[in-house]
Chains A and B, each alone.
Chain A
Amino acid sequence: MNIWQQITKKRSFEDSSVLESILSYLILGIWAFICIFPIYWVLVTSVKEPHVVNQGPFYIPFVDFQPSLHAWEFVFMQESMNTLRPFFNTVIISLISAFITLLIGSMAGYALVRIHYRPKIVSIACFILILILAILLITRMGLDWRMVLTSGTAIFLLFIFTLSRRFKASLGNNDIGFWMISQRILPPVVVVIPVYIFYQQLGILDTYLAMVITYVAINIPIVVWLMRDFFFSIPVDLEENAALDGASRYRIFTTIVLPLTKPGLSATFMLVLILCWNEYLLSLFISMTDTQTLPLMIASMNTTRGPQWWYMSVIIILMIIPVIMIALFLYRFIVRGLLVGAIKG
């Protein structure tokens, strides 16, 4: 055979021909380079002096320029209090939030898969209206009655629009699911000041409690959606058999379902951890001295003098390393998890 036939020949379906292998490796290699190069650049920038950064691109330490640890020294020695405290806060708050979110979210996700809810529209509407009234009374902002009327009607209409297709008197699981995920749509910017006032009235500003509650509340929807997929893949028979044997729902959940979805749980935990770890705007506002987190430090490096690239690079690296370590640790679970959780949607 000629060259072309040789390199496109396949021995079996699963194997790739030589050409395919080369192409695959090439593309994967290029993408790997694209992923890694920015990280490399950050590493290199963190050991550059300011004038070296400003002169133009220098790529390899010792060859192109003299590396210096001034930025690392500054961040860890001089500003240590400023860096260690936020680092500590970030770790604690993210881990706690991720755990709690996972717990509450997976329970809800499981429920949405196995149990059929039929909440009546009427009851929901009433519930919400009552909640609204309660909030109004609590804050007693002395609002204009026209404002109350307009907004009340507007919100009611909003809900009507969402449920317009279901003219039956009740909703289903899918609607609950969609409502949850739609909570992620409103940008944090709009939500910040009300949340700030809310916590201020409760007197819990700048506390771990406030941060954890916030992060749990905004991340539950994602956990619910992802875990739903994982729970789907568990055969119902297992649970039905256990139920016949007299096990309560709780026991089924904790002893049968959760262990089987350990991989999925790890993957979701990782995702939520990353989301909490990297959150900026809400943490900026809720924290003052005690609960500042690392993303704030990165943004702070952009001063009136312009971005201090060298310090910023150090903090970026500082932020990535723990996450990578946790990822490596959970890697085994994640891979298996994404495999086993036959995501059938």
Chain B
Amino acid sequence: MTQPNSIEEHLDRQAPTVFIMPAVLVVLCFSIFPLIVSLFVALSRLKFVKGGIEAKYIGFLNFKKLLFGSQQYHFLGKFDQLTTTGYVIMSVFVILILVWFYRYFKSINFSLVGTIGRFVVATGLFFLLMLTLINLTTPKGLPGTLVVTLTYVILGVIFQFLIGLGLALLCVKKIRGRSFFRMVFFIPMMITPVGIAYLFRMLTDMTKGPFAPVVMWLGFEETSWAVIPWGARIAVMIGDAWQWIPFMFIILLAGLESLPTEQKEAAIMDGAGSWQIFRDITWPTLLPVSVTIILIRLIEAFKIIDLPNVMTNGGPGIATESLSLHSYFNWRTMDLSGSAAVGYLLMVVAVFICLSFVSLVKKRIEIAQQ
């Protein structure tokens, strides 16, 4: 064996750095600067003067306005007393949390940091749940952009995942035209989001859209989906689902197709029914990839903006306005600090939900897999 050239060897030793540094540097530089500047902007009031922008530091006033002040109805929604069902749900939730803590205290990995982390997660989830219940289930409560976004994200992702999974399960069997279906199902993802928004605006128009005759035939011509808050929200979610189900479908399909069939056939020999096969063989294998795409989709879903913007411009009232849209409306009138404040709150909520999801679900899977 010849002695390797010292330069080559040196380079090879630096390989770990060389491989990862470009990505890390690019993302770091590109993300840190806007992150900091946005934080400054969120903490100040901007004024355009000759020669540039004048920033006056005002502390957390912008955030106060959103959480407690004049924009509270916009961000948090309108409050009302919880109904009895609401109290019941909250109590069940609290009990579950207590059980969770109890199990944690009894486990081996007990630590102070872990407790604090779990406490934060529990508190956060508690408040979000209460807010959602107050906004959506009480007679006079109305959701603000926070709860509307959560609805889009959670309901949307669940719905998209289930349908994507269903389609993938159907497509994995040996049916003719599989490739055709795969190609066709992939199409919605290729259209630009702005285009999809206008497309759905066209499709859902009550006078000139293609479904107008159907609506008339059903007798609904006196009302319009755009006037009913939940109708409008569902329309937005349908558009979102249409666009993103292909993403779930394609990746779940790949996961399913990589499943070795011998396991399944052995299970059938042993007399297992198809539900049991799904539960014990298919689902565990799909679990990791499901978690990955759900996480990716969660992150992207928080930023939903084009659909509510084009279809209803955030209406009726503020029923379909998402956090990102709220931020955009502020920004459009050059209220940069208000826009940045909403953006930061969005980031906090999204990070919270994603982290909770990751730590609660992903960890458990990885442990189970080992």
Size of interface on A: residues with Cβ below 8 Å to B: 122
- B258–A342 contact, CB under 8 A? yes
Interchain CA distance A20-B263 in the complex, whole Å = 22
B-chain residues with CB within 8 Å of residue A128 when the two chains form the complex: 28, 32
Residues of B within 8 A of A341 (CB): 254, 258
Q: Which listed segment binds B: A66-74, A77-85, A218-226, A234-242?
A: A218-226
Interface segment, one of B74-82, B100-108, B218-226, B344-352? B344-352
* B30 CB contacts on chain A under 8 angstroms: 213-214, 217-218
Segment with Cβ contacts to A, from B83-91, B130-138, B139-147, B293-301:
B293-301
- B208 adjacent to A165 (CB under 8 Å): no
A178 to B255, CA, bound (A): 22
Residue contact A339 to B192, C-beta cutoff 8 Å: no
Q: Give complex CA distance A15, B201 in Å.
A: 42
Q: Which of B6-49 contact A (CB under 8 A)?
A: 8, 11-12, 15-16, 18-20, 22-24, 26-41, 43-44
Q: Is residue B305 contacting chain A, with contact meaning CB distance below 8 A? A: yes
A327–B328 Cα gap in the complex (Å)? Answer: 32
Find out whether the CB atom of B15 lies under 8 angstroms from the CB atom of A165: no
B190: chain A residues at CB < 8 Å are: 274, 320, 323-324, 327
Number of residues from B at the complex interface, CB < 8 A = 122
Per the bound structure, the CA–CA distance linking A324 and B242 in Å amounts to 17
Interface string of A121-144 (1 = CB under 8 A from B): 000000010011001000001011
B39 close to A154 (CB less than 8 A): yes
Interface string of A239-266 (1 = CB under 8 A from B): 0000000101110010000000000000
Interface residue? B268 (CB, 8 A): yes
In chain B, residues 227-264, which have Cβ atoms closer than 8 Å to a Cβ of chain A? 242, 246, 250-251, 253-255, 257-258, 261, 264
> Restricting to A275-301, which residues have a CB under 8 Å from any CB of B?
277-278, 280, 294-295, 298-299, 301
- Asked if A272 is at the interface of the complex by the 8 Å CB criterion, the answer is no
* Distance between A41 CB and nearest chain B CB, rounded to angstroms: 6
Judge whether A155 and B26 touch: CB under 8 Å.
Answer: no
Other-chain contact of B15, A14, A154, A249, A340 (Cβ < 8 Å):
A249
CB of B116 closer than 8 Å to a CB of A: yes
| Separation of A309 and B205 alpha carbons in the complex (Å) | 12
Whole-angstrom distance between the Cβ of A29 and the nearest chain B Cβ: 9
Instruction: Report whether A31 and B167 are in contact in the complex, using a CB–CB cutoff of 8 Å.
Output: yes
Q: Does A316 contact B (CB under 8 A)?
A: yes
Contact across chains for B59 and A278 when beta carbons are under 8 A apart = no
Q: Contacts A41-B210, A343-B254 hold; do A13 and B23 have CB atoms under 8 A apart?
A: no
- Return A262 CB to nearest CB of chain B, in Å: 15
Which residues of chain B are near A340, meaning CB under 8 Å? 258
A248 and B8 within 8 A (CB): yes
As a 0/1 sequence over residues 28 to 64 of chain A, the CB contacts with chain B under 8 angstroms (1 = contact) are 1001101111110110010000000111110100000
State whether the Cβ of A25 lies closer than 8 Å to any Cβ in chain B. yes
Is A312 a contact of B198 with CB atoms below 8 Å? Answer: yes
A117 CA / B11 CA spacing, docked (Å): 17
Q: Please report the C-alpha to C-alpha distance between residue A277 and residue B190 in the assembled complex, in whole angstroms.
A: 9
Checking A41, A104, A132, A345 against B288 with a beta-carbon cut-off of 8 angstroms, the contacting residue is: A345
**Chain B residue with Cβ nearest A111:** B19
Judge whether A280 and B194 touch: CB under 8 Å.
yes
Contacts of B192 in A (CB 8 A): 277-278, 280, 294-295, 298, 316, 319
Interface-central residue, B8, B179, B296, by most chain A CB under 10 Å: B296
Given A24-B170, A190-B34, A343 and B212 contact (CB-CB distance below 8 Å): no
Residue of A nearest to B12 (CB): A248
Q: Are B31 and A183 in contact (CB-based, < 8 A)?
A: yes
| A-B contact list, 8 entries, CB within 8 Å | A25-B175, A32-B185, A41-B199, A184-B300, A185-B302, A190-B339, A225-B296, A309-B202
Which B residues are within 8 Å of any A CB, using their own CB?
1, 4, 8, 11-12, 15-16, 18-20, 22-24, 26-41, 43-44, 55, 57, 59, 111, 113-114, 116-117, 120, 166-167, 170-171, 173-175, 179, 181-195, 198-203, 207-213, 242, 246, 250-251, 253-255, 257-258, 261, 264-265, 268, 287-289, 291-292, 295-296, 299-300, 302-303, 305-306, 310, 323-324, 327-328, 331, 336, 339-340, 343-344, 346-347, 350-351, 354-355, 358-359, 365
